[in-house]
Amino acid sequence: MYDGGCLSEPGTMQRAAGELRVAVKRFGAETVLDELRQVGCLKARFPRRIVPGWIDIATLNTGGGVAGGDRLDLAFAAGPGAQATIAAQAAERFYRTLATDAPSRVRTRLTVAEGAAMEWLPQETILFDRSALDRRLEADLAPDARFLCAETIVFGRTAMGERVGQGWLRDLIRVRRGGELLLHDAIRLNGAVDAALTRPAIGGGARVVTTMVYVAPDAGARLDAVRTALGKAEAGASVWNGMLVARILGAESAGVRATVVAALSVLRDNRPLPRMWLC
């Protein structure tokens, strides 16, 4: 009965598309939701607030992971004086891409207004063998805004015996303050990823990398405490132009996460981490 009118294309794989836009504003002493748009596989939830004045935003991908050709677009805005922490419900997995697929495409834009603060704390990004990811994180900050970011990439789960033998990665973190470019941090890998990570100038054998960015007037004053928190981990931190950047490397994600949590405790004044990080 469908011979003459079926519009399906059996040779085309179904791909996911998601859009999530969230804006928050200051309302008295609290930060509250101002706008919310959810399309496709991306959703946002708002757990019971833990710290007065802050709002927690939990993101989730109902697609259960990201495949080649999937497109995810996220945007978060904090109005004047608002304070928001954004965290993912779970680690995001990027699966093997078929030869006919375009790379997974993820775009995230963060906007932080005057006197506002935003924390971008997704959980780990896990890359599978032969995955292909094109990802960009753009943050636009007011001159006096505060911003904290922690992005972790896992090149195969060590406990599962996984390796990213072949892969394609374009990952960019770009931060602007008052319209001026403050940071342009790009990772670019193509082909034999696992072999490249063994090279001393790239990964030195590490399979997990975290990039932390903290932009605030007190960034310089936090440097010594952050370096102490990094301890004996394979890591380093520097400050310039009101911005602190730390890079943490490791052979497995549990050890790197412990170091990241210690550094976040310093930069967040021991405020509790989002509940998702404790699951």
Confidence of residue 28 (pLDDT cuts 50, 70, 90): very high
pLDDT at residue 257 tops 70? yes
DSSP string for residues in 179-236? TEEEEEEEEEEEE-HHHHHTSTTTTTT--EEEEEEEESTTHHHHHHHHHHHHTTSEEE
Q: What is the Cα–Cα distance from 209 to 205, expressed in whole angstroms?
A: 11
Supply the pTM of this predicted model: 0.93
Q: What is the Cα–Cα distance from 252 to 28, expressed in whole angstroms?
A: 44
| Residue pLDDT, tens place only, 101-158 | 899 999 999 999 999 999 999 999 999 999 999 999 999 999 999 999 999 999 988 8
Confidence of residue 64 (pLDDT cuts 50, 70, 90): confident
**pLDDT for residue 11:** 53
What strands lie across the sheet with 167-177, from one edge to the other?
A: 30-40, 17-27, 71-78, 104-112, 132-141, 167-177, 180-191
Mean pLDDT of 243-259: 96
**pLDDT for residue 8:** 46
